[in-house]
Structure 1
Amino acid sequence: MPALKKIALTVTSAALLSGFVLSPAVAADKDKSDDKQPKPPSTMSSLGGEQLGKAGTQVNLGAGAPVLPKKLSGRSWIVADAESGDVLAAHNAHWRLPPASTLKMLFADTVLPALQPTQTHKVSESELAGVGEGSSLVGIKEDHTYTVHDLWLGVFLRSGNDAVHVLSEMYGGVPQTVAAMQKHAEELQALDTVVVSPDGYDAPRQVSSAYDLTLIARSGMQKKDFREYAATASADFPGEKKKGKKRESFEISNTNRLITGDIGVDPYKGIAGVKNGYTTHAGNTFTGVAERNGKVLLVTVMNPSAEESHAVYKEAAHLLDWGFAASGKVTPVGQLVPPKSIDTGTTTGGKGAAPAAGADQGTGGQEEATHASAAKSSSGVGVALAIIGGLLVVVAAAAYLVNRRWPLGGRTKAAPDAPETKDAAETKAPEAAETAEPVASAGKPADGPADKS
Structure 2
Amino acid sequence: MNAARRILRCGLASAAGILLAFPISAIPPNAAAPVPAHAAAAPIPCPAPAVKRSPKPTPPPTDPRDREVGGAALATPGLVTPPGAAAPPAITATSWVVADLDTGQVLGGCGPHEHAVPASTQKLLLAATVLPKLDPKQVITVTRKDLDFEPGSSAVGLLEGGKYPVETLWLGLLLNSGNDAANVLARLGGGDAGVAGTIAAMNEKARELGARQTRAVTPSGLDGPGQYTSAYDLALIARACFAEEAFRRYTLTRQTKIPAQPPRDKSGFQIQNENQLVFRYRGALGGKTGFTTLARHSYVGAAERDGRRLVVTLLGAEARPLRGWQQGAALLDWGFGLPTDASVGNLVDPGAGTATPTPADPEPGGQAAAQVGEPTDDSWVRRPVMLALAAALGVIALVLAALAARRGPRHIGRRRAR
TM-score range, shorter chain: 0.5 to 0.7
Report the aligned-residue RMSD. 2.7
TM-score by length of structure 2 reads 0.67
**C-alpha distance in structure 1 between counterparts of 2:219 and 2:289, whole Å:** 15
1:375-386 paired onto structure 2 within 5 Å: none
**C-alpha distance in structure 2 between counterparts of 1:100 and 1:118, whole Å:** 28
User: Counterpart of 2:349 in structure 1: which amino acid?
Assistant: P
Deviation at 1:34, TM superposition (A): 9.1
Corresponding residue of 1:156: 174
1:27-176 paired onto structure 2 within 5 Å: 45-62=67-84, 65-69=85-89, 71-129=90-148, 131-171=149-189, 172=191, 173-176=194-197
Corresponding residue of 1:258: 277
**C-alpha distance in structure 2 between counterparts of 1:187 and 1:95, whole Å:** 20
Corresponding residue of 2:244: 223
CA spacing shift, 1:238–1:89, aligned 2, 3 Å: same
What percent identity do the matched residue pairs reach? 41
Aligned-partner SS, 1:259:
helix
User: Counterpart of 1:66 in structure 2: which amino acid?
Assistant: A
Q: Is the 8 A contact 1:118 1:147 kept in 2?
A: yes
1:296-445 paired onto structure 2 within 5 Å: 296-310=309-323, 312-328=324-340, 330=342, 332-340=343-351
> What are structure 2's unaligned runs of at least 5 residues?
1-47, 361-418
> What are structure 1's unaligned runs of at least 5 residues?
1-31, 261-266, 345-396, 398-453
Q: Is the 8 A contact 2:49 2:94 kept in 1?
A: no
User: Counterpart of 1:293 in structure 2: which amino acid?
Assistant: D
Deviation at 1:292, TM superposition (A): 0.5
- String of CA shifts for 1:143-189, please: whole Å, max 9, x gaps: 11111011111101101000111112222311111000000110001
User: Counterpart of 1:51 in structure 2: which amino acid?
Assistant: A
Aligned-partner SS, 2:67:
coil
Q: Is the 8 A contact 2:125 2:237 kept in 1?
A: yes
Q: Hey, which bits of structure 1, 4+ residues long, moved more than 3 A?
A: 32-44, 341-344
Q: Is the 8 A contact 1:101 1:159 kept in 2?
A: yes
User: Counterpart of 1:340 in structure 2: which amino acid?
Assistant: G
TM-score by length of structure 1 reads 0.62
**C-alpha distance in structure 2 between counterparts of 1:124 and 1:340, whole Å:** 36
CA spacing shift, 1:255–1:85, aligned 2, 3 Å: same
Q: Is the 8 A contact 1:48 1:336 kept in 2?
A: yes
CA spacing shift, 1:175–1:269, aligned 2, 3 Å: same
Deviation at 1:333, TM superposition (A): 1.1
Q: Is the 8 A contact 1:202 1:280 kept in 2?
A: no
Deviates more, 1:189-198 or 1:247-256: 247-256
CA spacing shift, 1:305–1:35, aligned 2, 3 Å: closer
State the structure with bigger RCO (CA 8 A, min sep 6), 1 or 2. 2
Deviation at 1:190, TM superposition (A): 0.6
1:285 equivalent in alignment to 2:303 = no
Determine which of 231, 234, 240 is the counterpart of 1:210: 231
- String of CA shifts for 1:255-284, please: whole Å, max 9, x gaps: 111113xxxxxx110011111111111111
- String of CA shifts for 1:366-393, please: whole Å, max 9, x gaps: xxxxxxxxxxxxxxxxxxxxxxxxxxxx
**C-alpha distance in structure 2 between counterparts of 1:36 and 1:125, whole Å:** 36
Deviation at 1:60, TM superposition (A): 2.1
Q: Is the 8 A contact 2:211 2:353 kept in 1?
A: no
Deviation at 1:285, TM superposition (A): 0.6
Aligned-partner SS, 2:122:
helix
Structure whose residues are more often helix by fraction: 2
Q: Is the 8 A contact 2:91 2:322 kept in 1?
A: no
